[in-house]
Amino acid sequence: MVWPIFPLGRHEMLVLLRSLLVVSFLLRCGAGGTEEACRQDSGRLLVVVRTYRPTPAMVGRMKSFAVALQKSTLRSEFMISVDTTNITWAVLHNLSLTTGLQQEDLERAHVTASVALCSILAEEVPTATLHNFTISDIRETFPVWNTIGQVRGFHVEPLLLGLRHARKVWTHVWVFEDDVGLCGDLGTFLQIYQDDSSDFIGGKSYIPHFPEGWSPSELGSEEFVRRFPEKWWRGSLEKVQRLSLRFTEHLQELVLDGVTAWSLKLTPTFCETTTRQDAFPGLREPQIPWLDSDATIFWMACTGGMAAWMAELALSNGPSFVPLSLTSQSLRMR
């Protein structure tokens, strides 16, 4: 059967994609996929760990995350999103992830290193939903990537691609990088923010300063620069973030419209400028938190309630390991 091809403009394409998202949302709901069932299932969390070339220690932390979520009373789904670009057997061997594998047998069976990596993760963290991708997958799904030079530090699009593979309906998604460690239980940390309805929770925003020698095309697309004046640019550490479903939908609309940037600045910049353009009318003005000398909670400098609390990402143990305090006593308000 040959399907007719109709030319679609940007608006029609966005309407079609949003409709597909709604259909997917409903189909994944229980009780026959009704809208009422979806409302009853609201409040579920999707917890995603982004990883590339994970070490055994990183895999161990993923296992601890999965166990903590199973013990928690929170309704949640755990996903591992793994970038398998340029994964080779040498890489797996260097990561000491081939222990116990009969590498010669796997190679003889024409199993690729990327498949082997996913098999290892599936065996080590059996309760996790696995999503694997390559840069080629991102370029095919989000054409704006084809206008960027050497893609470095662009993590929004891989996240958006991974969200399509969630098995259950979710209201908010927590995103952790694979080098984040917790000084306590993951479920306890997530519970602190469970009643917060903010669309975006992230690290404290700052005026970004980018590495010397990087071309403008490596920091953002032309459409990003056109829409967002440099004076509005904001940065925010992305080691840990939480996004609402509707926020990810708006991010997807931006990316499909050719608006993307280094993810350290895309989400906070969009957050900072959204209420100025009245895209989210009626959002509450943020309250300023009380902080003592031991507090590890900071307010992200965004207006209109698009962001809320986030644990300070202290780098005292080095850039490859970020401890987070889990003391709920840090959440005192004026």
In a domain, 319, yes or no: yes
Q: What is the pLDDT of residue 267?
A: 77
Q: Which residues of the chain have pLDDT under 50?
A: 1-40, 275, 277-334
Q: What is the pLDDT of residues 25-70, one digit of tens each?
A: 434 443 344 444 444 456 789 999 999 999 898 999 999 999 999 9
Number of domains in the chain: 1
In-domain check, residue 7: no
Beta-sheet strands, E only, within the chain: 45-52, 76-83, 129-133, 172-177, 180-182, 200-201, 240-244, 297-299, 309-311, 322-324
Contact between 171 and 203 (Cβ < 8 Å): no
Q: What is the per-residue pLDDT for 241?
A: 87
Concatenate the DSSP letters of all residues of 135-182 into one string. Answer: HHHHHHH-GGGGGSSS--S--HHHHHHHHTT-SS--SEEEEEETTEEE
Looking at residue 110, its pLDDT comes to 66
Q: Is residue 108 part of a domain?
A: no
pLDDT value at position 218?
A: 62
For position 97, what pLDDT does the model report?
74
- Determine, yes or no, domain membership for 155: yes
Q: Is residue 92 part of a domain?
A: no
Assigned domain for 23 exists:
no
**pLDDT for the residue 211:** 62
Domain membership flag for residue 236: yes
Asked if residue 162 belongs to a domain, the reply is yes
The whole-number pLDDT of residue 45 equals 94
Report the pLDDT value the prediction gives residue 63, as an integer from 0 to 100. 94
| pLDDT confidence of residue 75 | 93
- What is the pLDDT at residue 232? 75
Q: Residue 92's pLDDT is what?
A: 84
The domain of 193 spans 42-83+130-331
What confidence score (pLDDT) does residue 19 get? 42
pTM, entire model: 0.71
